[in-house]
Structure 1
Amino acid sequence: MYHHTAPDPVGASPRRDPGGPADPLLSARFAVPAVPRFTVRRPALVARLTSGIETSLTLIDGVAGAGKTVLAAQWAASGRAPRRTVWLTADRGDTSGTFWAYLLEALRRHGIAPSLGVGTPVPTEGVDRSFLVRLAAEFADLREPVVLVLDAFDTVSSHDITDDLYFVLTHAGGGLRLVLTARDEASTPLRRHRVSGDLTEIRDADLRFSTAEADELLRAHALEVSPECVRLLVERTEGWAAGLRLCALAMSRAADPEAFVRDFAVDRTAIPDYLLAEVLDAQPPGTQDLLLRAAVTDRVHPELMAALTGRRDVEWTLARLARAHAFLDRVDASDRYRLHPLFAESLRIELRHRCPDLEPRLRRRAARWFAGAGRPTDALEQATAGHDWRYAAELMVDDLQIGRLFTGAERERLAHALAGLPSDVPGAAAALVGAALRLAAHDLDGCTAGLRRADARPRDPTAPTWLLARALVGVLAARAAGDPTVAGRAAADADRQMRRLSAPLVERHPEIPALVLTGLGATELHAGRFDRAEADLTAAVAVCHGPDTREPLCDALGMLALDELLRGRLSDAEAHAHASLAAAEAATTPPKDPMGMDHLVLAGVEVERDDLAAARLHLDLAATFAGPHTEPVATVEAAVIGARLATAAGDWRQALAVLRAAGSALPAARTRAWERDEMAIARSGAHLAHGDADAALDVLDGVDRDDPGHAVALARALLAAGRGDRAVEMLAGVTDDATLGRTRACLIRAEAAAEAGALPAARHWLRVAVGVASAERLRRVFVESGPWTRRLLRQDPELVRAHDWLPVRALGCLRLGSRGQSPALVGPLSDREIDVLRQAARMLSTQEIAAELCVSANTVKTHLKSIHRKLCVTRRSEAVHRARDLGIL
């Protein structure tokens, strides 16, 4: 049995080993380390340690500086550790005899003395099985177990010690609990206890600091920084405790701590010194060389490392380093590994110091390895980092990566890697890539100059990849310049080259036909070639599939919606605008250059349907989401819609101001005749709104345009000027397939007939107008027609009952009489359903509504289904319209 003795008084002479050399036992190894002044209290982890004592073995393992020892010391000093808690710090130089001598001494210093029958280990020798059996037996006889904390257990290099300790623990009968801190779990008897479940683990991931803990650490250093700064610091250090502490020290010396974090550079801290000393220097020379070479890549591939080192044991070495928490982790279940970013940067600093010329050579070799492995983005990054610019440019062209400068998940990575491309790199490929980079940055002049250089430099004139890449950039540049002729030629060339290339290569790059067709369609739309634009944009939508075509898909759908809006096909325009929004919502990353075209089209649709509140909201959203580089056609349409809304609100001066501002912002050389006509029609409408028919006619006469829409607008102005016969004559030769144009023409004929006293003819044309407008629910045109429409509709209640979609303002009190024809409510909406409907009226997506109301997206979908059922509608927009008609909103 154990004999309980008083602990040695402070300052007492240390015991000496009677059987070996007269080396003293170091008292520091028995002492619980002092908790540092800046320590962050971690009650949750302390609680896990306390509950973990119910198992025989508790392991705290993690990288150097993760806070393993600090946590164990914090627990030991917290008062939550059991009374019989013994501390011993392991040492790399311990022999078996020395380790057990220290362990027995640790027990004695805590008042727990083994009986004389256990024996005394000799430091210069090992221990026999009899010693271990007797020691385990004495532990087993204890009524209260002993908790032994073995700190830095990974430094124990003797497998005999590990095996012997496991033997004692297994046979101690619950009288011994072990708490081990270690960097390398391989040094512990872990596997056996994990299988039995008799194990508590606190791993490296558990030891990483949260943002709240990092904030507490910074405050302990008298650093008051923003939450975003703390988040960024935790992100860059990955919550590594020592890294945060070293950064806090550096921030304390910085003039601007937040700027220090924003412009974080590892070489401005003591982190490299710490990591090189604690991790790199602890490895044998061959492993050091492997780590230094591995630092040139973000992901460590065993095959690549074998190519860079010439070693055959790379995979085994990497697996060992990962198990040893050497700041190297396996990526999920793959065969790849990842260095901690701070360690990787520290290794690169050391590599440049030891071998200044080696890093570029390694990166160039890595670039070719990645290219051969089918990882072109990784290859490009390595080539540019190794200043192999010509190879990087040729890779962009030969592998058709150039389209991904404009779309796809790799867009930012590629642009970042190529940002430093010098202008004097030889070769046509470098000039072409430079031109594409300028175009992606909306520098059309720079792109044009780059294309001239590319065309002038020597190259293989028959290489289909170069010709396809050149054609793609040519289409996109022509779109930016508004040149449909050049765009058409380049698109035709792109189609020819894609037919020459192998099908697998083209299939790997669906973004190329998507970008070509979208660019061509947008250019045709800007030129007013609406039929061609529709065909090209429809084809673009058809070829878009996968994440790399998400941006051209949104772009093509938005442009297609605008094409249909301009031609009065409101339902098709609305459907494609919603499809564009849905595609953008489904994208993993938002488009880099949003245009807000979908919301702009929906604003135009809502104006024609006389939902002015929804139109204003969509117009505001279009302005919010539009990037700084708006297409001219979008600028024109936004001005027209804004002017119509101002006119509807009675502010004709504001309407004219909006149109003037848009006209000034548009380059005259790029403004097409149809765009000028669109704005002229909107200006004439503003003049008519305040009774100035002469000004409306002057505006329209100033535009030479042979177009049905222009003719209808001119007829409307003539009618307002009292020239009804001339207005009807103007419409005689007009053939407009657009529903909106035909409706307006019919209403002009009806009004002219009414003014002439031909009421039967007026009623006939009004009925035709209502019939034509019914498919698209064109309400606004009836509101704008004036009081004569209301008078005629009052005389035709049968027509009103048949078309309950007609606007209240055009019907007067007749709406109440006709409401009986509308489907009745199935049931009242709940308060939560009304909340959802209000958010839907703001044009929020399902996810955005869920976030606003703090519910799940599935809950929102359930509410919307119920709303549709109760309001007898099938679409969200119809539900909003119906709710407004019923006074719910």
Structure 2
Amino acid sequence: MRSRGIVLPHPTLLTLVDRAAGRAATLTLAADTIARSRDRTATLSAVNGSPGSFTAVLARLLLDELTPAQSRLLLALSTVPEFDAELAAVLSGHPDAIAALERIGLGPGLVCRADGAAPSERRPRYRLEPTFRDGILTEFFSRDAIGLLRLHGIAAEWHVAHGDIEAALDQARQSDSSELVEDLLRRFGLALVFGGSTLSVRTALADQEDRGVLTPTTGLLGALVSSPQLAESVRVDHFLALAEDEGAPRAPERDLVVAALHALHARTGPETARALARLDDAEAVTAAHPVGEGGPLAVLAARVFAEGARARVELSTGHFERALTRAIAASDAADESHLPWLELLALDTAASAANARGNWPLVGILERRIALLGSRSAEPESLVDASALLRTAASAYRSCEPFRLSQLDDIISVQWRALDAVGVLAPRALRLLFRLDEGADPRAVFEEMEQLFTVSLRRRPETIALGAFRFLDLALLYRGRSVARDYVEQLTTALGPDTLGSILGAALLREGTVAQDAGAAALEHALSSGARVLEGTNVVAGWLLLAHWSAESGDDARARLRLSKAVTIAERMRARRPFLARPAFVRLVAERHGTFGASEAFAASILTAASDAGISSDTGSVPHKSLTTRERDLLRELPLHQTVLEIAAKHSVSINTVKTHLRSIYAKVGASGRTDAVRRARELGLL
């Protein structure tokens, strides 16, 4: 203010600072506006007294003080986030717009070089400070809304001519021209999605849908961005029906993508066979006509997508080796063509196939490739970035490495901005697991997990696989065996009875009952025969559970063998987290310290991770007498703060029977009462 010759009373200055919310650029704009005014007192009164947006008021007053030509220049340049000399000239109609902008002499920070533009850059880019630009845009809209929309259309055409299609689509959306948006989506939509710009396409599709614009183009792209995980089948059916409309534009790459989508979305064997035959025909057309509407690169990208779709079909039909081979080939082709979205889809399929084959080192390699796909920005900027960061988060969780929960919030934010309600399920589930293992109230977290469990099983069942063991363990603790049995049945229906997650859940239900041996036999058979695996850490959890049961029954030799398998497999996938699921698992490792051979260092790292998590590996406090099945069931009721009468009614026994069992429990765990029994049971790994 003083540098502009403006001296204000202290209260007036504080009012300005308050209205500017402390933003330096807004205060600079205030100083510029007041300094340029013919009547500073009147301007200052207007600045401090006008309602509404502070920057909008300042922008209006500033524009009123400039010459008409200068005002038109600022209004024109506000239509784009950044500009070079050529774009500035096109928008303003002034051949030397940058020099004219500099002659206005705006205060420092209101006009600056765009991020990443070096001083020596041949065609430097500039931008108006964002809050300053917002104020100018608001004033532009109130003065000449039609002129503003026209300039957005001009900017869109300029960006198309210069190859920045994502920026062009953004400007087309702001031009309020559904015809222009439709044209850009038809010509460049596939390339944008395959290149990873799915957020911009989804936003444009949502805008078109809001305007009632439903065309074969919006149908094709809507199906494409929704289909890879087959999450929203009803919406995908709707989109595919639109894409198949008689008036649909024909192009080799478009027909191939539609055929691949049908293959991805086939539900039965005959449907799959017909879809694959159609895919063969579409691929033959692209071989004969390698240049489509979008050029040869568009056809190449469609062929890569088709190969990725074939790999996913192979995966869903149980041909894991063929799926793995196809998916890796597709990911390599996508990498060479710089198509990160396609590469992500192919790598995700390859990782799932390798997981199903039990090839844990390859799973790790593929997941690291996915993690490297993301940008190195502080926050994920696209669905590719978000997916890559999610893989990094899941890997950090499995290995017990530090990871900031705020980054999972960033992933969730990107998914919501992409209008992907299904995509948020995986990061939400992972966030709850992190909270559970970082000391949050387990009862409260479990209740949130219950809510997510029902949604995940219906819309994306594989998201629950990572936390299935912990969830079912807590369900037994907080809800009892009957409710846990319902959850296992739901899990089995969603994942399939042949999946390891379902078999592991069934074994957990039998723990501490006369059927435990039968559950152990079924679980060991599944682990040894290669049951279908959706989450590798469940293999480790399965062997740990078996080792724990063997140790409890006094069969130390079998306990050592099973524990050794758990440690060896966990080392291959760098998964320490399954050992932290129960204190008893940690003690298994601690008691056999020094017997793991080549895996000894990894076993030691498990104990370190447990210690960091506050889990005791003390082996001297384990009770000599095991609890009976009934005692285990009643012990799980103690943390729920129920009366003896309520517990008795729940288990259909008398009050005296409950009291007798409770006295036995207290004696066996060395506790003086209910609260002490809960604490001791958790220390001993019984809860």
User: How does the TM-score come out when normalised to structure 1?
Assistant: 0.46
Whole-angstrom distance in 2 between the partners of 1:774 and 1:295: 56
**Cα distance change of structure 1 residues 715 and 459 upon mapping to structure 2, 3 Å threshold:** closer
The yes-or-no answer on 1:626 pairing with 2:412 is yes
Please name the residue that 1:318 is paired with. 95
Contact 2:432 2:445 in 1 (8 A): yes
CA distance 1:733–1:447, change in 2 (3 Å): closer
Task: Report if the CA contact (8 A) 1:402-1:433 is conserved.
Answer: yes
Closer/same/farther in 2, CA of residues 539 and 318 from structure 1, 3 Å limit? same
Does residue 50 of structure 2 align to residue 260 of structure 1? no
| 1:268-302: CA deviation from partner (whole Å, max 9, x where unpaired) | 4362563227799xxxxxxx9xx999999965649
* Cα 1:598–1:275 shift into 2, 3 Å: same
Q: Secondary structure at the match of 1:805?
A: helix
Paired residues of 1:643 and 1:658 also in contact (CA < 8 A): no
Q: Distance in 2 between matches of 1:214 and 1:416?
A: 48
Q: Which has the higher helix share?
A: 2
Equivalent in the alignment of 1:231: 25
CA 1:271–1:409 in structure 2 vs 1: closer, same or farther (change >3 Å)? farther
What is the CA–CA distance in structure 2 between the aligned matches of 1:363 and 1:700, rounded to whole Å?
55
Give the Cα–Cα distance (whole angstroms) in 1 for the partners of residues 220 and 321 of structure 2: 32
Q: Which residue of 1 aligns with 2:2?
A: 40
State the alpha-carbon separation in 2 of the partners of residues 589 and 534 from structure 1: 31
| Separation in 1, partners of 2:426, 2:583 | 27
Written as runs of structure 1 = structure 2, the 5 A alignment for 1:516-531 is none
Distance 2:24 2:447 in 1: 47
Aligned to 1:685: 473
Residues 477 and 272 of structure 1: is their aligned pair in 2 closer, same or farther, counting only changes over 3 Å?
Answer: farther
Q: How far apart, in 1, do the equivalents of 2:589 and 2:156 lie? A: 77
- Identify the match of residue 453 of structure 2 among 663, 676, 691: 663
- Identity among equivalent positions (%) equals 15
Post-superposition offset of 1:387: 6.9
Q: Residue 652 of structure 1 contacts residue 689 of structure 1 at CA under 8 Å; is this kept in 2?
A: no
Please give the residue correspondences for 1:151-550 in structure 2 after superposition, counting only pairs within 5 Å.
219=13, 224-227=18-21, 229-231=23-25, 241=32, 245=36, 252-253=45-46, 259-261=52-54, 263=56, 268-269=60-61, 271=63, 274-276=66-68, 301=86, 318=95, 322=99, 389-390=178-179, 392-397=181-186, 399-401=187-189, 403-404=191-192, 419=207, 423=211, 429=217, 452=241, 455-456=244-245, 458-460=247-249, 462-464=250-252, 467=255, 500-502=289-291, 505-507=295-297, 538=328, 541-544=331-334, 549=339
Structure 1 pair 579–252 and aligned structure 2 pair: CA distance change class (3 A): farther
Give the Cα–Cα distance (whole angstroms) in 2 for the partners of residues 590 and 547 of structure 1: 22
Shift of 1:721: 1.9
Counterpart secondary structure, 2:3: coil
Give structure 2 stretches of 5+ with no counterpart: 106-110, 621-687
User: How has the CA–CA distance of structure 1 residues 403 and 715 changed in structure 2, closer, same or farther, with 3 Å as cutoff?
Assistant: same
Partners of 2:147 and 2:430 in 1: CA distance = 62
- Aligned-partner residue type, residue 40 of structure 1: R
Give 5+ residue unaligned stretches, structure 1.
1-38, 43-69, 75-212, 281-287, 816-889
- Counterpart for residue 629 of structure 2: none
TM-aligned CA distance change 1:740 to 1:263, over 3 Å: same
* Residue 521 of structure 2 is aligned to residue 729 of structure 1: yes
Q: Separation in 1 of the partners of 2:189 and 2:327?
A: 23
Q: Contact between 2:311 and 2:323, CA under 8 Å: does it hold in 1?
A: yes
- The whole-number CA distance in structure 2 between the counterparts of 1:710 and 1:376 is 46
Are 1:438 and 1:447, in contact at CA under 8 Å, matched by a contact in 2? yes
TM-score normalised over the length of structure 2 = 0.56
Distance 1:240 1:443, change over 3 A: farther
- Which of 556, 572, 583 matches 1:775? 572
Could you give the per-residue CA deviations for residues 400-422 of structure 1, whole angstroms, max 9, x where no partner exists?
24543796679659968995898
Q: State how far apart, in whole Å, the 2-side matches of 1:736 and 1:760 are.
A: 23
Q: Which has the larger radius of gyration?
A: 1
1:645-664 aligned at under 5 Å gives the runs: 646=436, 653-654=443-444, 656-664=446-454
Conserved 8 A contact 1:484-1:527: no
1:102-123 Cα distance to aligned partner (Å, 9 max, x none): xxxxxxxxxxxxxxxxxxxxxx
Mapped partners of 1:607, 1:222: distance in 2: 48
Amino acid of the structure 1 residue aligned with 2:182: A
State the superposition RMSD in angstroms. Answer: 6.8
Match runs of 1:763-842 below 5 Å: 763-776=560-573, 779=576, 781=578, 794=591, 797-799=594-596, 803-806=600-603, 807-808=606-607
CA distance in 1, matches of 2:427, 2:394: 8
User: Deviation at 1:231?
Assistant: 2.5
Answer 1 or 2: higher relative contact order, Cα 8 Å, separation at least 6: 2
* Cα distance in 2 between the residues matched to 1:279 and 1:410: 36
Cα 1:322–1:698, aligned 2, differ >3 Å: closer, same or farther?
closer
How far is the alpha carbon of 1:550 from its aligned partner? 5.4
